Amino acid sequence: MFLDALLMFVSILLPSVTGFAIIAAMDRKGLTNGLERAALSFGIGITYSFAALLPYFAAGFVIIAALMKKKALFTGRVETSPEKTSAVEKTLGAVFLALIAVKLFLPLLNVFIWPPYFDDAVTTWDFKAKVIFTAGGLGAGGSEEFLGGGLLNYPLGTPLFKAWMGIFAGTWNTSLVHLYDFAIFASMTAVFYAFLRRHASFAIAAAFTYVLASIPLMSFHAHGGHADMAVGYYLLASVLLLSRWFQTGETSFLYMTAITSAAMTFTKNEGLVLYAPAIVLTFLFLIAKTDAPLRERIKKIAVPCAVFLVLAGPWLMVKVLYGLSVGGGKLGIHGEAFTELAAVFFWEEGAFNILSAGTVLILFTNLRLFKDMTFLSYFAPFALTFLATLAVFVFTSNYEWLYLRTTINRSFLIISPLLVFSLGIFTGLTFSKEKFKKSKRVE
């Protein structure tokens, strides 16, 4: 068990190291600091694994490191909130960090002591991974092993990485493969804190990171074997990187957005149908707000699109070639959904603590901020994904799942990190003495 755990930990560490190197290689100007690079490294690194280059993690890191100056690999320009941290803030921040540690510890413990239990994990995500692990590949078309068996239209990002963990450890451990879920949870928490810290004080960044980590439903998804949190992580990372591009004008952030967006579409079908369009629309909105000439704008759109297509293209082609659906449902209007949604958001469910009411109340305190482009660069994609999610339950036969409460909370779990981050930025902006510190565009 200990050796299996160690090997699986290393199987997570390897792509993380490669991811770290990839970010450092792309961010030549050092606009990301060490914490941000480390936080993003796992997400970026496993995207690399989707390109079927699993055995080359270590080699990739060495080559990239050799091409770069050692210093540039590990350092970036450290920029944090302009406010000085007082002793009280330091204490409060430390308390929140301790609470975050508790929130990380319990799911980690559960990875080791829980058996595979939840339905979607054993029927789809873990099952496909085990089939790929056992078959040593994706199987021939028409065979039982093809694309991991089971439901063929489900994206393979999560099963492929779990299969890689098993291959690296040399065994299939039904509990320990859920270290992947924990790694996603921990990465998401770290990315959230690292990016928010740039714009908010230590205490506020730690407080909102604690809020994210303590969303009740998150505790099961951090070790339960579902892919909802993973797609939520990629959505969050994509929006954060896109917003950083808008703030800095640095193209490398667009490439990274393309990478994480491709990973998102390869994690769950919702990533392709609901969230990728929201990111594209936000991108178009932000690019329209820049003062670059038209030719430059077209170039800015074309290059990340190409990166996205290179990474997501193979899976999209498989979808087209084999006629794999992306889900859906019969169209229709279900007005009664709004009553159910109100019950879910405000009184009947405990999956999100008081996030719904808290959001409304916080946002109403400073309506002027809705004119702030930096805030909007985070909030607009949330609003779009929120509306897209609502539309699924209000205008399609998926209303049934809202009524049964099987998917509604999971759907909102995916976009909740983005919402909490928007609230964190909102609060940071309001508190900030210098209003908001936009990273200076690199000349």
Partner 1 sequence: MRKTACAFFIAFFFHALFFQETAGAVLRGEFVSTWQIKNFSFAEFKDKRLTVKGLWDPEITIPTPNLNAADYYVIEMRAKTTNPMGFLRVVWKADGRTRFYPLAQLPLSSDGDFNAYSLDLRARTHYPGVKLWNGEISTVSITFFGFGDTVEIEDLAIKKPDGITEKAIITWRNFFWPEAITPLSINSASPPFLFTFSYAFILNIIAVMAALAALAAYLWKKREKDSSPGEPRATRVSAIFIVLLLLWMAYDLRYTYAQALSTDTVYKSYVKTQDGRRRFSNMDDFYDFAEFARAQLKGEDKIFYFHEPVERNFFAHMKYLLYPLKPITFEKPGAGVPMRSMGRVHAVYKNPNVRFDNGMLYVNGNPVAKGKETARYDDYSFIFREEN
- Say whether residue 220 binds partner 1 (CB under 8 A): yes
- Say whether residue 370 binds partner 1 (CB under 8 A): no
- Say whether residue 211 binds partner 1 (CB under 8 A): yes
Dihedral sign, Cα of residue 14, residue 15, residue 16, residue 21: positive
Ramachandran angles phi, psi of 274, nearest 5°: -100, -40
In the set 123, 143, 171, 325, which binds partner 1 (CB under 8 A)? 123
The minimum distance between CB 253 and partner 1, in angstroms, equals 29
- Say whether residue 103 binds partner 1 (CB under 8 A): yes
Nearer to partner 1, 334 or 405 (CB): 405
- The DSSP annotation for 71-127 comes to HHHH-------SSPPPHHHHHHHHHHHHHHHHHHHHHHHHHHHPPS-SHHIIIIIHH
Give residues 373-432 in contact with partner 1 (rule: CB under 8 A). Answer: 405-407, 409-410, 427, 430-431
Nearer to partner 1, 86 or 299 (CB): 86
Nearer to partner 1, 219 or 251 (CB): 219
With b meaning 16 or more CB within 10 Å and e meaning fewer, what string describes 78-89?
Answer: ebbbebeeeeeb
DSSP for residue 366: T
CA distance 418 to 235: 8
- Say whether residue 349 binds partner 1 (CB under 8 A): yes
- Say whether residue 122 binds partner 1 (CB under 8 A): yes
- Residue given tokens 């820049």 in the structure block: 290
- Say whether residue 100 binds partner 1 (CB under 8 A): no
Stretch that binds partner 1, among 214-222, 236-244, 246-254, 261-269 (CB under 8 A): 214-222
Closest CA to 109 of 64, 163, 176: 176
**3-state SS class at 396:** strand
Contact (Cβ atoms closer than 8 angstroms) between residue 404 and residue 219 = no
Nearer to partner 1, 177 or 276 (CB): 177
CA distance 133 to 185: 23
**Dmax over Cα atoms in the chain, in whole Å?**
64
Nearer to partner 1, 297 or 334 (CB): 334
The minimum distance between CB 36 and partner 1, in angstroms, equals 25
- Say whether residue 98 binds partner 1 (CB under 8 A): no
Residues lying near partner 1 in the complex (CB under 8 A):
99, 102-103, 106, 109-110, 113-120, 122-123, 126-127, 130-131, 134, 174, 207, 211, 214, 216-217, 219-221, 224, 226, 343, 346-351, 353-354, 356-358, 361-362, 364-366, 368, 405-407, 409-410, 427, 430-431
